[in-house]
Amino acid sequence: MIINLLSQDLKTVTKNQKDGIYVTFSFSGEDKEKTTNIVNKELHGRLEKSLSSKLITGKTYETAIYREFNFSLFSHVVVIGLGKKSEFSHEVFRQALSCVYDASKSLKAEDVFVDLNDLHLKKHAPEFVKAAVEGLELTSYDFTELKSKKAKPGSIKSAKKVTSEEDQELQIHLLLNEAKSNEVKLAFEEGLILAQAVNFSKYLGDMPGNLMTPTILAEKTLEAIKGTKIKATVWDKARIAKEKMGGLLGVSMGSTQEPRFIILEYTGAAKSQKPIVYVGKGLTFDSGGISIKPSAGMEEMKYDMCGGANVIGTIIAIAKMKLKVNAIALIPSTENMPGPSATKPGDVHTSRNGKTFEINNTDAEGRLILSDALVYASEQKPELIIDAATLTGAMVVALGNIHTGYFTRNKNLKAQIEKAAEASGEWVWNMPLCDYHVQDMKGTFADLSNMSSGKGAGSATAAAFLEQFVDEGIPWAHFDIAGTGWAAGNRLKYCTKKGATGAMVRTFVELAKSYQ
């Protein structure tokens, strides 16, 4: 798929209109009495029957397709519902454009003209253009690499490579008179970079454990950052041991796969400016280790590296957008397996800062590998630390797959996160973290236990454990993406049903923007 931005409208468009598709939108009435409004006035007139018979109601994501309708120079017409005008947002639009993509596919279209002019976006044009591009590009993601009819391997360079082959014929033209404004052009480019970065994160997540080991994760990352200003360093097992990363090393002991510690550095501002450090859990397969998980659903634990994948996507997007910030992404990566040398319940390991922990359940491994990464992050004297991890099943219970729960004790950072999520269109929810949670993580034989001594609040106690490895005074937030990291397609039109979502990439990039 190729997306174009044209400073044209219905009357002036001349490009490839033969067999082209015209897409416009409809709003539903604010209450039962008020009627549906199709934003293109001419079409509103021609579709009176559909309106009176309620074939078109304007409700969100309703897709009405009129084949051989011969409207203006176009053969087919598509009307997408946007819901109530008072509730219209860029996130509604992002999802509506997902419907445009689906309709284009069902019509086997080559040229689709999406008319944004009648929406009268005015000063909001940049954010809606960005949302439109994201909605289309995110929806075009299709993980086909492992089907025998092969697509090319996933790559950040071209979204085409992670979309299906037939998709390459499709051209979607966004019609907007203000398309030549610099702000609109920038928003278009940013939307594309961001969505392609999210699609790359999804690709890493969707790859199964045997084909996305820590070594492969590092290799794929090195490949993806080619052409950007990101500097990469990858530590192998020997180096990880030398660096005293006892958490990461301890978790890796049950696996034949070597662990990796991936360091990605982007310098977009003066060297003196403190970096934003992103940390992501890169557990390429979590069997639970000796405290093995039940077999039902265990295959989903290939997604336990989505935190890592998503901070990789984040820093790639930041670099491609050339944001004027310094950013670092750290990904501790390993498998959690029950091999003969595996960590046993009761074992004690030492993290990079010298704190010891007893492993009372080997399935609570994410916090152990993150402990070393957070200590390393603190050593970078950062502006702030943000981590993302599929950390606890308790988070899935608490918030499901709609909101990503985040923990921070820093009020300023909380406000910045809320603002960033508002701008990105992702849903976040602030979760509690207090000293009682910390108390629950005290160890009997070591400084800390990796299991809470209390009942419940498993996500908060996990966060309290992580907090022990962040230097005091550094603003820090932990995002538990266990519920939102994959299988959100029943909520979000631009996500696949079962696959990885790239959750928080958009919000994390938005957060970086506020530090420019």
- Residue 384, classed as helix, strand or coil, is strand
Q: Are strands 282-286 and 326-336 parallel, antiparallel or unpaired?
A: parallel
Residues contributing to the site for ligand BES (CB under 6 A): 286, 304, 361, 363-366, 390-394, 396, 451, 458, 482
515: region left, alpha or beta (phi > 0 left; psi from -120 to 50 alpha): alpha
- Part of the chain binding Zn ion (CB under 5 A), chosen from 123-131, 235-243, 322-330, 363-371: 363-371
Beta strands in 49-193, from DSSP E residues, in sequence order: 63-66, 76-84, 111-115, 171-175
**293 among known catalytic residues:** yes
- 287, amino acid identity: S
Amino acid at 275: P
Quick check: 304 binds Zn ion (CB under 5 A)?
A: yes
Is residue 173 a contact partner of residue 136, using CB atoms and an 8 Å limit? no
H helix or E strand, kind and range, residue 241: helix 237-242
* Residue closer to Zn ion, measured from CB, 206 or 363: 363
Is residue 363 near Zn ion by the rule CB under 5 A? yes
Closest CA to 440 of 428, 432, 450: 450
- Which partner in ligand BES, Zn ion, none is near 396 (CB below 5 to 8 A by kind)? ligand BES
Q: Based on CB atoms, which residue is closest to Zn ion, 318 or 481?
A: 481
Three-state SS letters, 289-358: CCCCCCCCCHHHHHHHHHHHHHHHHHHHHHHHCCCCCEEEEEEEEEEECCCCCCCCCCCEEECCCCCEEE
The distance of closest approach from Cβ of residue 345 to ligand BES in the complex, given in angstroms and rounded to an integer, is: 11
- Residue 329 CB, nearest distance to Zn ion (Å)? 19
Judged on CB neighbours under 10 Å (0-12, 13-18, 19+), 396 is middle
Binding mask 232-271 for Zn ion (x = CB under 5 A): ----------------------------------------
How far apart, in whole angstroms, are the C-alpha atoms of residue 306 and residue 411? 27
Residue 489 interacts with, from ligand BES, Zn ion, none (CB under 5-8 Å by kind)? none
Are the C-beta atoms of residues 23 and 82 closer than 8 Å to each other?
no
Q: How far apart are CA 497 and CA 144, in angstroms?
A: 14
Sequence-distant (6+) residues with CB within 8 A of 305 are 204, 205, 212, 217, 280, 281, 282, 283, 284, 333
Residue 115 beta carbon to ligand BES: minimum distance, rounded to whole angstroms:
42
- 245 versus 441: smaller Cβ distance to ligand BES: 441
Stretch that binds Zn ion, among 3-11, 35-43, 93-101, 364-372 (CB under 5 A): 364-372
* Dihedral angle sign, alpha carbons of residues 4, 7, 13, 15: negative
366 near Zn ion, judged by CB under 5 A: yes
Cβ of residue 483: shortest distance to ligand BES, in angstroms? 7
If the CB atoms of residues 103 and 482 are measured against ligand BES, the closer one turns out to be 482
Contact of residue 393 among ligand BES, Zn ion, none (CB under 5-8 Å per partner type): ligand BES
Of 293, 414, 498, 513, the active-site residue reads 293
Nearer to Zn ion, 133 or 481 (CB): 481
Please answer whether residues 275 and 386 qualify as being in contact, where contact means their C-beta atoms are separated by less than 8 angstroms: no
Least separation in angstroms between residue 384's CB and Zn ion is 24
Q: Which is nearer to Zn ion, 190 or 286 (CB)?
A: 286
- Cα separation, 121 vs 126, whole angstroms: 9
Residue closer to ligand BES (CB basis): 83 or 289: 289
Contact pattern for Zn ion over residues 280 through 299, marking x by CB under 5 A:
---x--x-------------
Catalytic status, residue 367: yes
Pair 141, 162: CB distance under 8 Å: yes
451 interacts with, out of Zn ion, ligand BES, none, CB within 5 to 8 A per kind: ligand BES
* Smallest distance from Zn ion to CB 304, Å: 4
Which residue in the list 237, 281, 355, 367 is annotated as catalytic? 367
Contact 266, 278 (CB under 8 A): no
Q: How far is the CB of 284 from ligand BES (least distance, A)?
A: 11
Q: Of how many residues is the chain composed?
A: 516
Residues recognised as catalytic = 293, 367
**Binding residues for Zn ion (CB under 5 A):** 283, 286, 304, 363, 365-366
